[in-house]
Chains A and B, each alone.
Chain A
Amino acid sequence: AQTVTQSQPEMSVQEAETVTLSCTYDTSESDYYLFWYKQPPSRQMILVIRQEAYKQQNATENRFSVNFQKAAKSFSLKISDSQLGDAAMYFCAYRSAGFNKFYFGSGTKLNVKP
């Protein structure tokens, strides 16, 4: 079975600074998708960014970008110009291409200091 590991339970960043959240995964599959989801306190989980494994180019969405290292099975999320609204739990997730079954990491709580 696939596993997703987020080794940083909690991180803090100063407003306007940059922070990187780490994620590693274990799989024997070659085709899959990776996601970062954000869950603000007491609010709905929303998708931040996604990456297709067959694409070498790293995905970017405004201030959010990923560093996808397929050989190393690493998928980190970089948040630039951090804002107070970025404070949330961030979950890394894996989905194989053939099955609509997601595997989530344990999450990283991001604190943003004003």
Chain B
Amino acid sequence: KAGVTQTPRYLIKTRGQQVTLSCSPISGHRSVSWYQQTPGQGLQFLFEYFSETQRNKGNFPGRFSGRQFSNSRSEMNVSTLELGDSALYLCASSLAGGLGEQYFGPGTRLTVT
């Protein structure tokens, strides 16, 4: 099976712009979670989508949003970018239930200037 894929891998944006990141889960996985990884804060949970519905949410402002499509692919959107949004954004997919193991994608490195 193909692993979790994320596009684009690298992105440079200007403060105030918006950005959309994409994640394709492993075939058959219906749960997609998003994380923000920074050197100072580590891995922070953004949200989880399952069957096109947001099921869990972390403590991020409303500028961070996401959605999931019927094929389980997910997108994450950040509006009005701030310098502090510079991070590695990781997507992980899993089979809902079971052992709950998450499989991670390579991440999208977002730099806000």
Decide: A45 and B90 in contact? CB cutoff 8 A.
yes
Decide: B42 and A35 in contact? CB cutoff 8 A.
no
- Residues of B contacting A43 in the complex (Cβ-Cβ under 8 angstroms): 106
> What total of chain A residues lie within 8 Å of the partner, measured CB to CB?
21
Decide: A99 and B42 in contact? CB cutoff 8 A.
no
Q: Which of A82-97 contact B (CB under 8 A)?
A: 91, 95
Decide: A47 and B101 in contact? CB cutoff 8 A.
yes
- Residues of A contacting B2 in the complex (Cβ-Cβ under 8 angstroms): none
Decide: B101 and A100 in contact? CB cutoff 8 A.
no
Instruction: Specify the main secondary structure of chain B where it touches its partner.
Output: strand
The listed residue (A44, A46, A47, A106) touching B42 by CB distance below 8 A is A106
B56 CB within 8 Å of chain A: yes
B55 CB within 8 Å of chain A: yes
A45-B90, A46-B104, A106-B42 are contacts. A100–B99 as well, Cβ < 8 Å?
no
- Residues of B contacting A37 in the complex (Cβ-Cβ under 8 angstroms): 104
Bitwise, B71-113 to A at CB < 8 A (1) or not (0) is 0000000000000000000101010110111111111000000
- Residues of B contacting A103 in the complex (Cβ-Cβ under 8 angstroms): 45
Q: A47-B101, A100-B56 are in contact. List 13 more A-B contacts (CB 8 A).
A: A33-B100, A45-B104, A47-B102, A47-B103, A100-B31, A100-B33, A101-B48, A102-B45, A102-B102, A103-B45, A104-B42, A106-B42, A107-B42
Interface residues of A (CB under 8 A from B): 33, 35, 37, 43-47, 50, 52, 91, 95, 99-107
